[in-house]
Amino acid sequence: MIPIWVFTLPFGICAAQTSTFFIKQGAIMNRKLGNGFEVPPASIFTLAAIGMISAVILYDNVLVPTLRKLTGNERGINILQRIGIGMVFSVLSMIVAAMVERKRLDAVEMNGAIKGSLSMSVFWLGPQFIIIGVGDGFALVGLQEYFYDQVPDSMRSLGIALYLSVIGAASFLSSVLITIVDHVTSKSGKSWFGKDLNSSRLDKFFWLLAVITTLNLFMFVFFARKYNYKNVQKLAVADCYEDKSDDGKADVRV
């Protein structure tokens, strides 16, 4: 269980970018919509929520019934496979984010800091938000299931706390990683994190996250293939019929 917890942290680090650098990107881009209305930067996060909700609906109503017939698994796929799919989407999100940021920096170089950033609509950030949202629909929901179903019975009440600890620890590690990258790149002459985004190299940072998460994904798959699942359904049935009375009636405990 501990290796699984550790290997989900890079996904959490990627997800943490949605409420930090992704929002900062949106704040300096063209947010005008229609006549005079400006989209608040933080509201762009709604796209991630839309992606997550869409993924959950699609998974429950389309993928599970289809995969159940193919695999014979009641869930369609097992919990760790669901988490792994979410990790793949986090890698894709970082790749898209790196490409969009590179395009924004090119616009800044060609047209100047203010005019360059404003030449790109904030909705260029839509794909990276939606993709990470889809990843959340697989990985975060999968983590909730995992820490509820697979923890020992004595720790069942701590399942949600363990799930939230992944998000909290990943947010902390994101800050640590930024500090380390800033320190290392500063020694080479120019830090990836300047005084503002236009003098920074967020595209390189996003590529770094994509590489780290990809390598982590391989390790996750290695451990996931060796993982032995605790069969919650069988245990529940065994508990129901554990105590039998002499007349053959089961003493079912609620």
215 or 146, which is more confident: 215
- Return the closest-CA partner of residue 200 out of 10, 39, 28: 28
How do residues 4-61 score in pLDDT, each as one tens digit?
889 999 999 999 999 999 999 998 888 888 777 888 888 999 999 999 999 999 988 9
User: Is the separation of the CB atoms in 110 and 35 below 8 Å?
Assistant: no
Burial of 216 (0-12, 13-18, 19+ CB in 10 A): buried
Q: Which residues contact 252 (CB under 8 A, 6 or more apart)?
A: 240, 241
The H or E element that residue 176 is part of is: helix 159-187
Report the alpha-carbon distance of residue 45 to residue 138 in Å, rounded: 18
**C-alpha dist (Å) from residue 25 to 53, 167, 237:** 24, 22, 52
How do residues 75-124 score in pLDDT, each as one tens digit?
778 889 999 999 999 999 999 999 999 999 998 888 876 665 677 889 99
DSSP state of 32: E
Give the count of beta carbons closer than 10 Å to the beta carbon of residue 67.
16
Residue with tokens 């300047």: 194
Q: Which residues contact 149 (CB under 8 A, 6 or more apart)?
A: 79, 230, 232
Could you give the domains of the chain?
2-240 (1.20.1250.20)
